[in-house]
Amino acid sequence: MAYLAYKWFKNRKNKQPVDGREPDISETSYPTEPSRPYQPIEPTETDKPIKPSKKHDCIHRRDGSQISESAMELTAYPDGPSGIHEKTNMDDTSPCEECQETKRAARIYRWRVISGLFVPFLIQSLDVTIIAGALPFIASDFNELAQLNWIVSAFNLTSASFIPFWGQLTNVFGRYYAMQSSLICMIIGSVLCSAAPVTSFPMLLVGRGLQGMGCAGLLVNTKVILADKVTLAENAKNNTIFTIVGGVGYGVGPVIGGYLTQVSWRWCFIINIPLGLIAIVLVHFVLQPELLGPQKITRVDDVEDVNIKQTFKARLLTIDYGGQVLFLFGLGLLVLALTWAGSSYAWDSVQILAPLVIGVALLAAFVVWEYLMLPGNFLSRRSPTCKAMLPFKLLIARNVSILMYISFLTGMAMYAIFYFVDLYFALVH
């Protein structure tokens, strides 16, 4: 079309007007080719596009640290004798040996971690709900129906209070010793509960407290170990697997406890002893080679100090004992007030108001204590290697605060279903 327009303008410029008028373009004749029927053009072999092979992209080939001989060849497509492009023998689609070995090691590590942590995490989830159906029978044997809720509160109080404490122990003494200590603590608590005579209700509560303390360690250590040596995507997959395991444990716990209670409620605690011993063996033989050891002691302000000793005593001094005491007693008094209120004493009585006010004051003092442990503040200057049990930055972070609020509401609903529904059907129906 552009060529015809060019010819028309050229003829118009060179041709003189006839009879004082412009020549009619319709009268202009142009050479034309004879018409022929339309025939689609078949692409030849040389015109066919060659799809490039999907190359395996890895850090070793990008860095040039490992390049195969075939990858060194130029990607050329010379014409063969038949006119068809012939591709060289370059092969970048298969992963390199280092990538294959890395993936193989990651799979082995993942399954070792899952195998070693499965039983400890299952014990932790079972202990939360296994006695739900046995609570009225336990309280009846001890003749303490009015104090029945303390069987649950003793476990939940220590379980919630010692979660930050176990987080510190995991870094100070290593994953292996923290996990084994948690299992031993849980087994000792189970032994005390199963052996408690019916005349010693405090012994049962002490055993439940040790059980909660051990289960807090199992929960924290499992989460920490799952996050070690993996990416965020792999950590999400691992946590999904153990979330399913925990859900199964929470769900079947009351059912298992109900069947065991038909024989004796003590079997709800005895069952933890062989499971705990199996978990100790698995952690030692399956998990120990993969676990991280004690972390290096450093200053809170990250200032390099070569004079810091990596001794056992120095590691003990890095634990936030003051924060742990304030948090434990503050939360304990708050739980005590809420447990007695309305059932043992009136809400406006001194027996309720005193622990309630003191508990809230201790929790407020705990927040102030953690603030003073920030780098540059008073407590951090006195003990530069002592790490805060709960960093103050987490307490004021908006996202963390929202998550804690959601977890608080979720826990209220979850534990109400776990325990009080079983009590309703056991005592009312």
Residues 42-55 pLDDT 10s: 555 555 555 555 55
Report how far residue 157's alpha carbon sits from residue 162's, in angstroms, rounded to the nearest whole number.
Answer: 9
Q: 248 pLDDT exceeds 60? A: yes
DSSP state of 66: S
CA of 358: how far to CAs of 216, 329, 371, in Å?
25, 9, 20
Query: What digits encode the pLDDT tens for the residues 326-379?
Result: 999 999 999 889 888 887 889 889 999 999 999 999 999 999 999 999 888 888
Q: Specify the 3-state DSSP secondary structure of 341.
A: strand
Where helices occur in 130-147 by DSSP H, the ranges are 135-142
Question: Which part of the chain is CATH 1.20.1250.20?
Answer: 97-295
pLDDT in tens, 16-34: 554 545 555 444 454 555 5
- Taking the alpha carbons at both ends of the chain, their separation in whole angstroms is 94
Tell me which of 90-104, 156-170, 238-252, 356-370 is least confident: 90-104
Per-residue model confidence (pLDDT) at position 367: 92
Mean pLDDT value of segment 193-220: 93
3 state DSSP class of 345 = strand
Is the model's pLDDT at 295 over the cut of 80? Answer: yes
Residue % of the chain over a pLDDT of 70? 77
pLDDT at 230: 83
C-alpha to C-alpha distance for 4 and 11, rounded to whole angstroms: 11
Q: Check pLDDT > 80 for residue 37.
A: no
8 A C-beta contact, residue 36 and residue 74: no
Residue 291 has pLDDT above 50, yes or no: yes
CA distances from 51 to 87, 192, 269 (A): 11, 71, 65
Average pLDDT over residues 201-216: 94
Per the model's pLDDT, the better-predicted residue between 235 and 207 turns out to be 207
Phi and psi at residue 142, to the nearest 5°: -85, -5
pLDDT digits (tens, 9 = 90+) for 86-111: 444 445 556 677 777 878 888 888 88
pTM (whole model) above 0.85: no
Which amino acid makes up residue 85?
Answer: H
CATH topology of domain 97-295: Growth Hormone; Chain: A; (1.20.1250)
Q: What is the dihedral of CA 391, 395, 397, 399, to 10 degrees?
A: 110
Angle, CA of 276, 277 and 280, to the nearest 5°: 90
Contact 183, 210 (CB under 8 A): no
> What is the structure's pLDDT at 77?
43
Q: What is the pLDDT of residue 75?
A: 42
SS3 21: strand
User: 299-311 pLDDT, tens per residue?
Assistant: 887 777 778 888 8
174 pLDDT above the threshold of 70: yes
pLDDT of residue 82: 44
Structure confidence at residue 66 (pLDDT)? 45
What sign has the CA pseudo-torsion 395, 152, 149, 413? positive
How many CA atoms does the CB half-sphere of 118 hold within 13 Å? 11
